[in-house]
Structure 1
Amino acid sequence: MVSTIASENQNPRQNDILAALPLEDYQRLLPDLEFVSMPLGWALYEAGQKLTHAYFPTNSIVSLLYVMENGSSAEIAVTGYDGLVGIALFMGGNTTPSRAVVQSAGFGYRLKASVLKREFQLGGKLQQLALSFTQALITQMAQTAVCNRHHTVDQQLCRWLLLSLDRLPTNHLKMTQELIANMLGVRREGVTEAAGKLQTEGIISYSRGLILVLDRPRLEKRVCECYAVVKKEFDRLLPQKHVHQTTVAPALRDRRLHMYLRD
């Protein structure tokens, strides 16, 4: 069960898509928005499984993964308070070959498939936002495929760190090393080595499973162009209720990301 204190600190408007809805549309959806806890590693849906709900994260991050027959996996996209999970519901299908897994624990709201479809068919603001988000998500998927093929594990880790920072309302991220490796589609040792290089250069601090991003500007210089392509498309297509750390004053740009990586 979700604690009363946790629910009192949450609001559907903490999700950018829900926040951008006109008051009339928002109030129509509000009775159907169910507050949910989203623990680390929870699978919102599995590959091929019929989707029953769409999810609107508020302070959690959800990873979309493709899983191979041998059990290996790779992340194709990540969603936080900037979007929703379950685009197959309004794109003409009720299933998807990917699985959705919580990569950073937190909370969110879910909406029954029937309600989302009803609202989408009205052709209002939610439809516009959902389609814009889908276009941005497709860009992220395509760029992730390019990045995984052509860029180093170091660059992929930098991209992943920045994408995670942009989708969290706080600087706390709880993860496991194994989950990061699965998302990047690399060996766990590769993640450890890449994190070690960033630490040697003073970009992050890494000790006992805790990563602190000490120098975000330098992290941005180390990342490949894939991050900028994705961020530009999301900023162009979607409302920006939250201020991403790349756009705030320099004095605030070195906010530290606390990543608890459990062995």
Structure 2
Amino acid sequence: MDAVLPQVSTDTPRDAAAPTIRNRLLRALPAEDLALLRGRAETVIVEAGTRLAPANAPMTDAFFLESGLASVSLATADGSRLEVGITGREGLVSPALALGVERTPFETEIRIGGQALRIGTETLREAMGRSDALRRLLMRYVQVVTLWTSQTALSNRRHKTEERLARWLLLVHDRLDGDDLALTHETLSNMLGVHRPGVTVAVHELESAGMIATRRGLITILDRDKLVRLAGTSYGFAEAEYERLIGPLRGLGRAPA
């Protein structure tokens, strides 16, 4: 199946009066370094099902998500796909581009639709060559992505489904506005690599404990602190490293000048 190309927005201004940038990586850049990218970026609508980075295919564009959520997955031996991470407004699709790699076995597909800033890979490479701040920032992001992936592997190996579910809900909550998460049991099943009946049981456990509320296709976070405690060591380390190396993960933090 061919990749679905993002739809370009035609009503978003691309000058100094443009809306505030919401991508956390871009917000962390000094104004002069951000200007190397901002003037050559275009705002695109990314709908659910859009594949921003198909597996093993050349990546001609980098995407800095402004809203929405993307799933990063890897093909398994039986032909299915296992989710190994998610990306939102904290990051870049794909981190491999920061390393000068133009194709990767990982596939990145939009789970929850939103907007992104699309920048050609050549433009990104040129900007990294001219900006030490941009190059350092993206290298730091790659470091944090490595930690997120490691925590996912550890969690999958050592933690119960309820703990893993709590972690994934926190990851999604970090990347979206508000407490309502548009997640179906099927989506959660793909995230966790667990059959749907197991996910349903775990969801009911968290709901009974007052951590979440559910209705069809929607999960509402009621008590984030309880979710953090349930997730335990599977959540928090990589998030703290992001904030140490890059900046705020959940709040908008400093706005670019």
Using structure 2 for the length normalisation, give the TM-score: 0.87
Q: Which of the numbers 136, 139, 143 marks the counterpart of 2:147?
A: 139
User: Do 1:48 and 1:96's aligned partners in 2 also have CA atoms closer than 8 Å?
Assistant: yes
Deviation at 1:24, TM superposition (A): 1.8
Q: Which of the numbers 165, 171, 175 marks the counterpart of 1:157?
A: 165
- For 1:17, the equivalent position in structure 2 comes to 25
User: Do 1:2 and 1:36's aligned partners in 2 also have CA atoms closer than 8 Å?
Assistant: yes
* Residue 236 (structure 1) aligned with residue 244 (structure 2): yes
User: Do 1:206 and 1:212's aligned partners in 2 also have CA atoms closer than 8 Å?
Assistant: yes
Deviation at 1:123, TM superposition (A): 4.2
Matched residue SS, 2:213:
strand
- For 2:123, the equivalent position in structure 1 comes to 115
Higher mean alpha-carbon deviation, 166-175 vs 128-137, is at 166-175
Using structure 1 for the length normalisation, give the TM-score: 0.85
Please show how residues 207-222 of structure 1 align to structure 2 within 5 Å: 207-222=215-230
Q: Deviation per CA, 1:172-200, whole angstroms, max 9, x where unpaired?
A: 43233222211211112221111011111
- For 2:86, the equivalent position in structure 1 comes to 78
Paired letter, 1:84: L
Aligned equivalents of 1:4 and 1:102: distance in 2? 20
Please show how residues 88-107 of structure 1 align to structure 2 within 5 Å: 88-107=96-115
Q: CA RMSD in A?
A: 2.1
* Residue 128 (structure 1) aligned with residue 115 (structure 2): no
Deviation at 1:207, TM superposition (A): 2.8
Q: Deviation per CA, 1:153-188, whole angstroms, max 9, x where unpaired?
A: 111110000011111233343233222211211112
* Residue 63 (structure 1) aligned with residue 71 (structure 2): yes
Q: Deviation per CA, 1:190-240, whole angstroms, max 9, x where unpaired?
A: 211110111112221123333221111111111131111221121121122
Gaps of 5+ in 1: 245-263
Aligned equivalents of 1:186 and 1:47: distance in 2? 23
User: Do 2:90 and 2:175's aligned partners in 1 also have CA atoms closer than 8 Å?
Assistant: yes
Matched residue SS, 2:202:
helix
Matched residue SS, 2:203:
helix
User: Do 1:105 and 1:174's aligned partners in 2 also have CA atoms closer than 8 Å?
Assistant: no
Matched residue SS, 1:137:
helix
User: Do 2:174 and 2:249's aligned partners in 1 also have CA atoms closer than 8 Å?
Assistant: no
Matched residue SS, 2:39:
helix
Aligned equivalents of 1:70 and 1:11: distance in 2? 45
Paired letter, 2:237: V
Identify if the C-alpha distance between structure 1 residues 240 and 207 changes in structure 2 by more than 3 Å, giving closer, same or farther. Answer: closer
User: Do 1:72 and 1:185's aligned partners in 2 also have CA atoms closer than 8 Å?
Assistant: no
Identify if the C-alpha distance between structure 1 residues 150 and 136 changes in structure 2 by more than 3 Å, giving closer, same or farther. Answer: same
User: Do 1:40 and 1:175's aligned partners in 2 also have CA atoms closer than 8 Å?
Assistant: no
How many residues are aligned here?
Answer: 243
Matched residue SS, 1:90:
helix
Gaps of 5+ in 2: 1-6, 253-257
Deviation at 1:33, TM superposition (A): 0.6
Paired letter, 1:20: A
User: Do 1:13 and 1:19's aligned partners in 2 also have CA atoms closer than 8 Å?
Assistant: yes
User: Do 1:72 and 1:182's aligned partners in 2 also have CA atoms closer than 8 Å?
Assistant: no
Matched residue SS, 2:49:
coil
* Residue 190 (structure 1) aligned with residue 198 (structure 2): yes
User: Do 2:212 and 2:220's aligned partners in 1 also have CA atoms closer than 8 Å?
Assistant: yes
Identify if the C-alpha distance between structure 1 residues 170 and 204 changes in structure 2 by more than 3 Å, giving closer, same or farther. Answer: closer
Higher mean alpha-carbon deviation, 18-27 vs 143-152, is at 18-27
Q: Which of the numbers 48, 51, 58 marks the counterpart of 1:43?
A: 51
Identify if the C-alpha distance between structure 1 residues 176 and 205 changes in structure 2 by more than 3 Å, giving closer, same or farther. Answer: closer
Aligned equivalents of 1:13 and 1:176: distance in 2? 29
Identify if the C-alpha distance between structure 1 residues 224 and 98 changes in structure 2 by more than 3 Å, giving closer, same or farther. Answer: same
